[in-house]
Amino acid sequence: MELEVRPLTPETWHDFVTVMGPNGGDAGCWCMYNRQTTREFAASKGDQNRTTMKALVESGEIPGLIGYLGGEPVGWIAVQPRDVYGRLSRSRVAKPLDECPAWAVTCFVIPKSRRGIGVATALLEAATRYAAEQGATLIEGYPVEPRQDRMPDFWAWMGFPSMFESAGFEEVARRTETRPFMRKEL
């Protein structure tokens, strides 16, 4: 698949909005969930999260990458240094294993019409390259292991172990039955 990838910047903001759809991803998240406490997220869902994410982008922060097929935005992946995502440090599943500085992949959004064709895997490979270009030496992900052949779309935002494995990640821990902790050295 020839997926073109661009960072989320003020110039690509409209493409991010297109991928996120009218609800801002799931329930007005706008990819802010892992940056907020549960209370903050509950109070900010929707327009406030969109405004907060836009302000981050306008400040020069690059919270992730947008994938394009034929010039059309078809996917999103959140990837930044792990310490940007405060929720990870409080998570029993995704809390850091050690003090090694790492980048984290925390979210995928692929519109329904583009699912199942490899967009998420291509984005993960691009995110790995991008993190390495930014000086990262380690990248992590916290996907969900389906208990059945088909998983509700809601859970797909974390990705699946098979995607991470195909991108060269290895499972290094599993704190629950369905949530492997995946890493790749860069």
* CATH topology classification for 4-185: Aminopeptidase (3.40.630)
DSSP label at residue 141? E
pLDDT at 149: 63
Q: Does residue 165 register a pLDDT over 80?
A: yes
pTM, full prediction = 0.94
What pLDDT digit, counting tens, does each position of 138-154 carry? 999 999 987 766 555 55
What pLDDT digit, counting tens, does each position of 24-64 carry? 987 899 999 999 999 999 999 999 999 999 999 999 999 99
How far, in Å, CA of 26 to CA of 112, rounded? 13
How far, in Å, CA of 124 to CA of 103, rounded? 12
Angle at 69 between CA 63 and CA 74, to 5 degrees: 50
How far, in Å, CA of 147 to CA of 131, rounded? 30
Q: What are the residue ranges spanned by the domains of the chain?
A: 4-185
Full 3-state SS string of 122-135? HHHHHHHHHHHHCC
For the chain, the C-alpha Rg in angstroms (whole number) is: 15
In the chain, the percentage of residues whose pLDDT exceeds 70 is 95
In the chain, the percentage of residues whose pLDDT exceeds 90 is 81
What pLDDT digit, counting tens, does each position of 51-105 carry? 999 999 999 999 999 999 999 999 999 999 999 999 999 999 999 999 999 999 9
Residues with Cβ within 8 Å of 150's Cβ and at least 6 positions away in sequence, in order, are none
Tokens of 171: 């499972």
Tell me if residue 102 falls in helix, strand or coil. coil
- The residue with tokens 């998240």 is 29
Q: Considering Cα of 57, then 16, then 132, then 175, what sign does the dihedral take?
A: positive
